[in-house]
Amino acid sequence: MIEVVLLGFALSMDAFAVSIGLGSKEVNSHALLALKAGLFFGIFQAMMPLVGYAGGYGLIGFVSAYAHYIAFGLLLLIGAKMIYEGVNESLEEEIAKITNKLMLTLAIATSIDAMAAGFSLTLLDFNPLLACLCIGVMTAVISSIGVYVGKLTGTWFEGKAEVFGGVVLVAIGFRILFF
């Protein structure tokens, strides 16, 4: 259970960082933006790990001897990518108007990593549907909070959240590899 909570928390950091960037923009209603961010990011973060799980489950028979190494490698790569993105410029600075189309694009972009991380769900002793629901709900709540954090702090906290999420994913990868 703790692995699922940590995985959900770490995967939500991408969406949290983007939500901070969105919240730092001048908008008519931060409450509406927080609701949209929660819904868009939460739904996609719940769906993508399930896709990854299904793919991993289909392959587990072929790669069962190497599954721990594959999960470790994927989580290490995703975590390293998040750390790299956290210390570099973000795309939210280029966003002028927040539309539903933009929110959909951002939700897909931030959840691609969750699809790869979903493979690791095949190695956890936890119901994958419940795990994906937990990940989605956590992301929805954390993304909504991110909008308000962005409103209060600007983009100062944005990169730090993404780096933290990357570090947690790398730690989960090591946990899967060694335990």
Report which of 108, 97, 80, 70 is spatially closest to residue 10, judged by C-alpha positions: 80
SS3 per-residue string spanning the chain: CHHHHHHHHHHHHHHHHHHHHHHCCCCCCHHHHHHHHHHHHHHHHHHHHHHHHHHHHHHHHHHCCCHHHHHHHHHHHHHHHHHHHHHCCCHHHHCCCCCHHHHHHHHHHHHHHHHHHHHHHHHCCCCHHHHHHHHHHHHHHHHHHHHHHHHHHCCCCHHHHHHHHHHHHHHHHHHHHHC
Q: What is the pLDDT of residues 57-74, one digit of tens each?
A: 777 667 667 778 887 888
pLDDT of residue 89: 59
pLDDT of residue 66: 79
Instruction: Report residue 49's pLDDT band, with 50, 70 and 90 as the boundaries.
Output: very high
Which residue ranges make up each domain of the chain?
Answer: 2-21+32-178
Inform me whether the pLDDT recorded for 93 exceeds 60.
no
pTM: 0.78
Inform me whether the pLDDT recorded for 123 exceeds 90.
no
Q: What is the mean pLDDT of the chain?
A: 84
pLDDT of residue 94: 55
